[in-house]
Amino acid sequence: MRIDIEKCVGCGRCVSYCPVGAIQLFQDKHNPKKKRSRIDEDECVECGVCLRAQVCKPQAIYLPELNWPRVVRRAFSDPMVEHKETGVPGRGTEEMKTNEVTGRFRKGSWGMAVEVGRPGVGGRLKDLETIAMALAEKGIVFEPRNPVTFLFEDVKTGRLKPELKNEKVLSAIIEFEVKPDQLKGVFQSLKDVSGKVETVFSVDLISFPEEREKGPALEVAKQLGFPIYPNGKVNMGLGRVLNK
């Protein structure tokens, strides 16, 4: 996103609408009595919130043409934009958390997701790469229908295309399936890598509702010190059931 300095009147109404704090007011060097808004393009994730909010009366905020690799920021941060690889907008995946419809994993295994970044924080893709490479060392296979997978230079190692590493997004989700013999190693790897990244991430554990399916995975998570939050998403299976 950009701000046309000639149109900006320095009202500052746009500042609070940026979810990553990339908009600031500054003194106009040509007129010290006036202020203008500007966008820190390195911090901007191209989510478009400031533009969609329509708070700029002189319409100084605009979206310039975005080229590769910067266009990746918008694809993962603007919920109105579809990923060309998947046809799904926003973070761009029919998540494992809706497994009763997507049928991505079967009983006897668990779906897992690592959600990197959050509104108010965001995250650099280099941090996503750090997490992905740690997971790849444990033998997991990345979900092929997730748009993150298309960003890898080497999908087997989780290494990103080099030009993407410093791009910043609002959030992105790594998804994969975990077998029983991988579970403890994956949790331990995520715990170890948490101190090596400069953003936040949350871990999703997706299971079937039967105790024999969810119980073992929750116990491993608790043993390794992962807090279990009660605000999980419970799907009722009212969609097109694929897991019979």
In CATH, what number is assigned to the domain containing residue 176? 3.30.70.120
Q: Are residues 131 and 51 in the same domain?
A: no
Q: Is the pLDDT of residue 239 over 60?
A: no
Q: Are residues 100 and 180 in the same domain?
A: yes
Domain count, the chain: 2
Q: Give the residue from 31, 62, 93 where a domain finishes.
A: 62
Hey, CA dihedral for 87, 91, 95, 96, is it positive or negative? positive
pLDDT of residue 238: 59
C-alpha 100/C-alpha 106 separation (Å) is 10
As a whole number, mean pLDDT of residues 97-115 equals 83
> CB-based burial of residue 240 (10 Å sphere; 0-12 exposed, 13-18 middle, 19+ buried)?
exposed
Q: Are residues 57 and 89 in the same domain?
A: no
Confidence of residue 234 (pLDDT cuts 50, 70, 90): low
Q: Are residues 113 and 202 in the same domain?
A: yes
Instruction: Return the percentage of the chain with pLDDT > 90, whole number.
Output: 62
pLDDT of residue 43: 96
Residue type, 169: V
**CATH code of residue 50:** 3.30.70.20
Q: Is the pLDDT of residue 100 over 80?
A: no
Q: What is the mean pLDDT of the chain?
A: 89
Q: Is residue 58 part of a domain?
A: yes
Q: Is residue 27 part of a domain?
A: yes
Q: Are residues 8 and 103 in the same domain?
A: no
Q: Is the pLDDT of residue 243 over 60?
A: no
Q: Is residue 69 part of a domain?
A: no
pLDDT of residue 112: 92
More confidently predicted of 117 and 94: 117
Q: Are residues 212 and 124 in the same domain?
A: yes
Residue range(s) defining the domain that contains residue 9: 2-62
Q: Is residue 88 part of a domain?
A: yes
Q: Is residue 148 part of a domain?
A: yes
Long-range CB contact pairs, 152-161, < 8 A, 24+:
157/133, 158/129, 158/131, 158/132, 158/133, 158/134, 159/129, 159/132, 159/133, 160/125, 160/126, 160/128, 160/129, 160/132, 161/69
Q: Are residues 8 and 125 in the same domain?
A: no
Contacts of 8 (CB under 8 A, 6+ apart): 36, 37, 56, 58, 60
Q: Are residues 17 and 81 in the same domain?
A: no
Q: Are residues 162 and 205 in the same domain?
A: yes
Q: Where are the alpha helices (DSSP H) in 54-115?
A: 71-77, 99-102
Rounded to a whole number of angstroms, the CA Rg of the chain reads 21
Q: Is residue 23 part of a domain?
A: yes
Q: How many CB atoms lie within 10 A of CB 16?
A: 12
CA 182, 117, 39 angle in degrees (round to 5)?
Answer: 160
Structure tokens at 112: 């897992």
Q: Are residues 79 and 199 in the same domain?
A: yes
C-alpha 240/C-alpha 194 separation (Å) is 36
Q: Are residues 101 and 213 in the same domain?
A: yes
* pTM score of the predicted model: 0.89
Q: Give the residue from 62, 87, 112 where a domain finishes.
A: 62
Instruction: Return the percentage of the chain with pLDDT > 70, whole number.
Output: 92
